[in-house]
Amino acid sequence: MNSEHLDCNAIHSTLALFIDNEIEDQNLYHEFEVHFDLCEPCKVELLREQENLRQLKALLGGACCEEVTGAFQEQLLAQIAAVAEEQMRQAQFANNPFEGFAAFGPGFIPGQTVITTSYTRTEIIDDGIHIQIETTQEFREEFPG
């Protein structure tokens, strides 16, 4: 027995989409439901495939639940901390100690090239009492190709 819009072949070839909840179109999803209400063989196939998948997932879930050890987690934390320290070290190296200059971003990624160019111009004005300092700093980051 065929529903008006979806025939059994269409249902059969796209059954996995329905079972995996991958049908986003609400109208299409409804068509599937209507067909299963009207078509016993397709309904039987649906239930069998759903049960097969349920068994498979139960077996997989029961077997594949490995966990990392506490020691390994500590190791991960330590490595992340080391990477963060390196990032901070590179950021400090690139930081401009003079006021008014904002660092380009909070961190630099190891592997990138940071090119820093500083220009300082000092002028002694008047009778040597006033000193004017002008500094510009150029940042350039080059990403590895």
Partner 1 sequence: MPMSTELDLATPAGGLATTESISERKARFERDALPYASSLYGAALRYTKNPHDAEDLVQDTFIKAFNSFHQFQEGTNLKAWLYRVLSTTFINNYRKDQRRPQISASEVEDWQIHEAASHTSDQGKSAEDEVLENIPDGDVKSALAAMPEEFRMAVYLADVEGFSYKEIAEIIGVPTGTVMSRLHRGRKLLREALAEYAKGRGIKGATGAESDKRGGE
| Residues within the interface to partner 1 (CB under 8 A) | 16-17, 20, 22, 48, 52-53, 55-57, 59-68, 72-73, 75-77, 79-81, 83-84, 87-88, 91, 102, 104-107, 109-111, 141
Q: Are 28 and 5 in contact (CB under 8 A)?
A: no
State in angstroms the smallest separation of the CB of 126 from partner 1: 39
State in angstroms the smallest separation of the CB of 128 from partner 1: 40
Q: Are 142 and 115 in contact (CB under 8 A)?
A: yes
Maximum Cα–Cα distance across the chain: 105
Which is nearer to partner 1, 119 or 143 (by Cβ)?
A: 143
What would you report as the CA-atom Rg of the chain, rounded to the nearest whole angstrom?
Answer: 33
Sign of CA dihedral 121, 126, 128, 131: negative
Which is nearer to partner 1, 12 or 131 (by Cβ)?
A: 12
State in angstroms the smallest separation of the CB of 87 from partner 1: 5
Which is nearer to partner 1, 20 or 138 (by Cβ)?
A: 20
Which is nearer to partner 1, 4 or 67 (by Cβ)?
A: 67
| CA–CA distance, 35 with 4 (Å, rounded to integer) | 8
Residues 6 or more apart whose Cβ sits within 8 Å of residue 45: 12, 15
State in angstroms the smallest separation of the CB of 140 from partner 1: 12
